């Protein structure tokens, strides 16, 4: 199973649309997960044209009046995956993200909010953040692809704009 992971698109405030490279990367995905700060439901609708898409509410979505769930949990091939924007202070604090993962009782937590991508394992919980696909703060635009097969997760950070740059992780 291939899952496209995206966050912090901030459309149309920071960018006019989802970059074509993102849409091309996600065209063969079985599912897309958006970790918040869409700021318009048009983002979800466009991603839905590629694959079933699940989104959670980010801090900017609340300001935009989008009624999205705060968290989402799905079980795929025996792996429980949690989706949450990850509004913690300081941004990206893995201890607080671990507590969110424990509350959701998940093996993998996908979050956003930081605008920079990371793949970390904390106390047996895989923490994933795809970064921002459009105009991030203090990093390059990025997304993520997950491949789930036989109970294993292979996560790949993909830099938007340079499809040859990727960072792989196999636990």
Specify the pairing of strand 152-159 against strand 71-76. unpaired
pLDDT single digits (tens) 91-140 = 889 999 999 999 999 999 999 999 999 999 999 999 999 999 998 877 89
Backbone angles phi, psi at 143, to 5 degrees: -135, -175
Contact call for residues 119 and 167 (beta carbons, < 8 A): yes
Please give the sequence-ordered ranges of beta strands (E in DSSP) within the chain, or none if there are none: 2-6, 31-34, 53-55, 71-76, 79-84, 108-110, 118-122, 125-129, 142-149, 152-159, 166-169
What pLDDT digit, counting tens, does each position of 44-91 carry? 999 999 999 999 999 999 998 999 999 999 999 999 999 999 998 888
**Nearest CA among 55, 53, 7 for reference residue 30:** 53
Q: Please name the residues in contact with 144: beta carbons below 8 A apart, sequence gap of 6 or more.
A: 4, 5, 6, 117, 128, 129, 130, 131, 155, 156, 157, 158
**CB atoms inside a 10 Å sphere around CB 78:** 10
The closest alpha carbon to 79, from 100, 63, 101, belongs to 101
The total number of structural domains in the chain stands at 1
pLDDT in tens, 130-159: 999 998 877 899 999 999 999 999 999 999
Q: Any idea what the CATH number is for the domain that residue 11 is in?
A: 3.60.21.10
Picking from 15, 9, 17, the residue whose alpha carbon sits closest to that of residue 39 is 9
Distance CA 107, CA 17 (A): 32
Please tell me the pTM assigned to this model. Answer: 0.92
Structural domain range at position 47: 2-169
């Amino acid at each position: 199973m291939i899952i496209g992971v995206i966050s912090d698109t901030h459309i149309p405030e920071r960018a006019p649309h989802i970059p074509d490279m993102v849409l091309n990367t996600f065209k063969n995905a079985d599912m897309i997960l958006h970790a918040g700060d869409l700021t318009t439901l048009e983002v979800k609708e466009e991603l839905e044209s590629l694959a079933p898409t699940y989104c959670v509410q980010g801090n900017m979505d609340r300001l935009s009046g989008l009624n999205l769930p705060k968290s989402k949990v799905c079980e795929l091939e025996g792996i429980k995956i949690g989706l949450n924007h990850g509004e913690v202070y300081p941004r990206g604090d893995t201890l607080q993200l671990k507590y969110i993962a424990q509350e959701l009782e998940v093996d993998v937590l996908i979050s956003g909010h930081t605008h920079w991508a990371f793949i970390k394992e904390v106390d047996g919980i895989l923490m994933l953040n795809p970064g921002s696909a459009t105009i991030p703060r203090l990093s390059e635009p990025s997304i993520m692809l997950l491949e789930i097969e036989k109970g294993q997760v292979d996560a790949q950070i993909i830099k938007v704009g340079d499809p040859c740059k990727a960072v792989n992780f196999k636990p």
